[in-house]
Amino acid sequence: MTIAVGETLPEMAVMTLGADGPAPVELSEKLKGRKVVIFAVPGAFTPTCHSAHVPSFVRQKDALMAKGVDEIICLSVNDPWVMNAWGEATGAAGEGITMLADSSGAFTKAIGMDFDAPPVGFVSRSKRYALLAEDGVVKVLHAEENPGTCEISGGEAMLAAL
């Protein structure tokens, strides 16, 4: 079942690349008492994700923070090394966007946002979406119908929803 507005995100760990290598990040700790935007992509370095989705949040970061957002997290079913390199390549990491890896896809599956597209090499990937969570509760959810588009899940749409 897909997560919905009003529901609480599951308490699960995802990964980051720390000084000593991969390290778990408890999402519940990042969300507790905070207003956080999480946007997820089908894959790092893939065309729409790289040229549209991440740049939209880089462009809107300051405006989102001005609306009370404490943190912006980009999540993908990739490994933490890929997410680290992608954050550097897009400038997202330098802008303060947190790049996190749902390496096993466990979080993505738990919220019902997983999909497969074998013809393009996607197996157990994340649908494209953006959500706003306040203290772990989903307040806004923008999920794309087509993973190749970034229309309602981009930074501009999230800003307009706040």
Contact criterion met (CB below 8 Å) for 108 and 114: yes
Q: Residue 51: enclosing H or E segment and its boundaries?
A: none
Distance from C-alpha of 158 to C-alpha of 103, rounded to nearest angstrom: 25
Q: Is-catalytic flag, 49?
A: yes
Alpha-carbon distance 77 to 18, whole Å?
Answer: 18
| Residue 156: φ, ψ to 5° | -65, -40
Exactly one of 49, 52, 111, 133 is catalytic; name it: 49
60, amino acid identity: Q
| 18: three-class secondary structure by DSSP | strand
Q: List the alpha helices (DSSP H) in the chain.
A: 27-31, 47-48, 54-66, 80-90, 106-110, 155-161
The answer to whether residues 158 and 132 touch, using CB atoms and an 8 Å cutoff, is yes
* Amino acid occupying residue 119: P
Catalytic residues: 49
